Structure 1
Amino acid sequence: MRHRSGRLVRLAALVTAVATVGSGCTVAVSGQPKAARVVERDTTSTGVIRGSDGGQIDQLAGTALADIDRFWDEAFPATFGKPWTPLSGGIFSVDTADASAKPPPCTEKASDVEGNAFYCPSADAVAYDRAALLPVLQDKFGDAAVVIVLAHEMGHAVQKRMGITPESERANPGKFPTILTEAMADCFAGSFTKWVADGKSKSLDIGQDALDSALGALITFRDPVGTSPTDQQAHGNAFDRVSAFQDGFQKDAKFCGAMTVQNRVFTQSTFTNVADRDRGGNLPFDDMIVQLTPDLSAYYQGVLTSIGKTWVPPKSTKVGQEPDCSGDQGPVAFCKDDKAVEIDVEGDLRKLHEQIGDYATGLLMASRYGLSALAQAGKQTDGAAAGSNALCMAGAYTGVVLDRKEGFGLSPGDMDEAVQVLLAANFPTRDAKGRSGLEPGFKRVEVFRAGVFDGDKACGIR
């Protein structure tokens, strides 16, 4: 058996999370380091951090927070028309491995901070665990992860200066639910990251090669599968959090600050039946293929009919090894000459299904059916644009299924599974010859989101 997609499986195995809990933003850590660096570490920055040991983690945190403050000193007046005011309550580094460590504001004991970073609105302060959070994130994702987490927490400080406080939420119930304020903070973190990526920071460097790291770190903060979006502690699923971050990166802080419950779409959902909940939202591998194949065909028939073309379902062929009919497309391939979709049912696809979830299978199949639809619409199936359009079509299909009330639909964890697959490998964006996979994963998520939210009109098929 050939194992050309073994890299994808090894990455998928890293999805297994180490969960930590505390009083702030709960974290589950997974992944591996990506390129990101501190250009010039500010060794004096630890002097303003309370409880600092002067070590490299506090130096990194201090450097990041100083840069975040510089960003908001520019962006806040431009966005909200008034001066930025630095934190009045300070920054707290907590060694949660030290039983005698002093607790920061909003906590009763140092151990309350374990595995967390948070903003305390009553004290206008930021605190973080320098023992069990920041070094773990740094080890798994690189320096960029630490920067993004702290940028998110400072996003909550921005909200207070906007007038979004616990008191304002109590006075206007439902106006600023937690899932919205968390999305806004993710968005603000994205805006800051774009500022750094544009070379405006003298201390930090987060280029295109580090964006996957940023997203990988961010999705460790996703809610447990099945959490209601109306839960008082809801932070959003992986797709919602990544979407907010990308919106901030692509747009600006003004867009982030204008988020409301009326204009923000969240895909997080609860389980609708006991059976789905008991199986964790995942169909068995063989059942998923049986149910998915006719549903994909029905969807693409509708798309082709709407543009005056005729849809002929591709032959769905199960194979016992990675398909090689048209180059290396991964464990699912569109075979243009045979007008078929070949599915590896013995190797990597089954492993991905087990390690990530059933929508790993769903996304890969939807993108290859997307290539078939492009071919039948008379569009190019070779080249980078074709591969991206195929993923976009998979996103468009996902958006339709996501909104369904009856029949084949998505489970609460499926959108998270899509993000994990897209960050892991470029197979969903390879063309009909197995080439031109889109990099980095940040861009793949962006293309997928366009399909989900804008439908097939964004996918070059019309």
Structure 2
Amino acid sequence: MEWESFRRSDNVEDRRAEGPTSGGGFGGGQLGLGAVIVLGLVGWALGIDPRLLIGGAEMVNSARHQYTQSETRPPHAGAPSDQMGQFVAAVLAQTEDVWSDVLPQQKGVAYTKPRLVLYSGSTRSGCGGAQASMGPFYCPNDQKVYLDTAFFRDMQKRLGGGGDFAYAYVIAHEIGHHVQNLLGILPKVQAAQQRASSQAQANAYSVRLELMADCLAGVWAANADRKFQTLQPGDIQEAISTAQAIGDDRLQESSRGYAVPDSFTHGSAAQRTQWLNTGLRSGQIDSCNTFAQ
């Protein structure tokens, strides 16, 4: 995939320098056991209630922690300078340029640009805590895509996928959920899932939603190639290999030795390949109506 000459999006929020966020338990203001013991001894020696010393120290520690989080390490806004950050910013920019044309032309809906958050390990999102183990995801509450790029390494090492266009497909899939949100599809499906009579039915809604995002990733790729001539020999196969590798049946069979279709949430390898190809061939949003199947 040729991406180096493309502009970079400024809608990248780089939180990788923050490292993993606290997972609860001890807050930013609480003291370690050693500090509590020392302050207790000091209070006993000076005839001061140790609770006053400990409470005051925790207040100071809490203020320092909050200052550190909000002032000394703000998230970097704009295109990062490292190669992976540059790649992500270039792909995001291309989704912006394509969907800003395609969505109004095909559906009469204006495209609002989402932000993409790069993080390492864990971070906060409008949908709750984000963990690397969750994989990339889109949060409709804050209209941001969350991505720990370690997922790309996992694609290569554990899932048998990889390559620039395969990584771009993953990003485009999450942007596909943003398009669903702008079209009003995402909230309707989420409401239907809440009304579902069983978990299997709720999962079936999820599968259709994810397959539609695969198809929309294909729509993006088709229109990006027409607009920018991005695709190179082997790119499509990279994306198809990745779609197959992250099919629910492949993942379940590799982890437990068998697949349980009722528990699928993203679709089988064959389904994901089918819908990605549908979008690639047509370049049309209307071809992606997985709910009509």
Superposition TM-score tier, normalisation by shorter sequence: 0.5 to 0.7
Aligned counterpart in structure 2 of residue 133 of structure 1, from 151, 156, 174: 151
State the match for 1:195 in structure 2: 223
State the match for 1:432 in structure 2: none
Secondary structure in 2 aligned to 1:126?
strand
- In 2 relative to 1, CA 165–145 (structure 1 residues): closer, same or farther, beyond 3 Å? same
State the match for 2:175 in structure 1: 154
Match for 1:114: what amino acid? S
Cα shift at 1:65 = 0.9
Cα shift at 1:46 = 6.0
Cα shift at 1:254 = 2.6
Q: Distance in 1 between matches of 2:286 and 2:261?
A: 21
Report how many aligned residue pairs link the two structures.
213
Q: Distance in 1 between matches of 2:186 and 2:136?
A: 18
Q: Distance in 1 between matches of 2:289 and 2:166?
A: 26
Contact between 1:46 and 1:59, CA under 8 Å: does it hold in 2? no
Q: Distance in 2 between matches of 1:170 and 1:57?
A: 36
State the match for 1:180 in structure 2: 208
The equivalences for 1:5-404 within 5 A come to 36-40=1-5, 42=7, 45=9, 48-51=12-15, 54=80, 55-87=82-114, 90-96=115-121, 102-108=123-129, 112-114=131-133, 116-130=135-149, 132-137=150-155, 141-166=162-187, 168-171=189-192, 173=196, 177-198=205-226, 200-201=227-228, 205-223=230-248, 224-225=252-253, 227-231=259-263, 234-260=265-291, 263-264=292-293
Give the structure-1-normalised TM-score. 0.42
Q: Distance in 2 between matches of 1:58 and 1:138?
A: 18
Secondary structure in 1 aligned to 2:125?
coil
Q: Distance in 2 between matches of 1:237 and 1:168?
A: 20
Structure whose residues are more often helix by fraction: 2
Aligned-residue sequence identity (percent) comes to 24
Give the structure-2-normalised TM-score. 0.64
Cα shift at 1:207 = 2.6
Match for 1:151: what amino acid? A
- In 2 relative to 1, CA 123–228 (structure 1 residues): closer, same or farther, beyond 3 Å? farther
Q: Distance in 2 between matches of 1:164 and 1:235?
A: 16
- In 2 relative to 1, CA 138–68 (structure 1 residues): closer, same or farther, beyond 3 Å? farther
Q: Distance in 1 between matches of 2:11 and 2:284?
A: 29
Q: Distance in 2 between matches of 1:210 and 1:222?
A: 19
CA RMSD of superposed structures (Å): 2.7
Q: Distance in 1 between matches of 2:210 and 2:240?
A: 15
- Structure 2 gaps of 5+ residues are 18-79
Q: Which structure is higher in RCO with an 8 Å CA cutoff and minimum separation 6?
A: 2
Q: Distance in 2 between matches of 1:179 and 1:229?
A: 10
Secondary structure in 2 aligned to 1:185?
helix
Cα shift at 1:49 = 2.3
Contact between 1:119 and 1:126, CA under 8 Å: does it hold in 2? yes
Contact between 1:119 and 1:125, CA under 8 Å: does it hold in 2? yes
Q: Deviations over 1:59-104 (max 9, x none)?
A: 11111011011111111112211211112xx2110112xxxx6433
Secondary structure in 1 aligned to 2:5?
coil
Match for 2:89: what amino acid? G
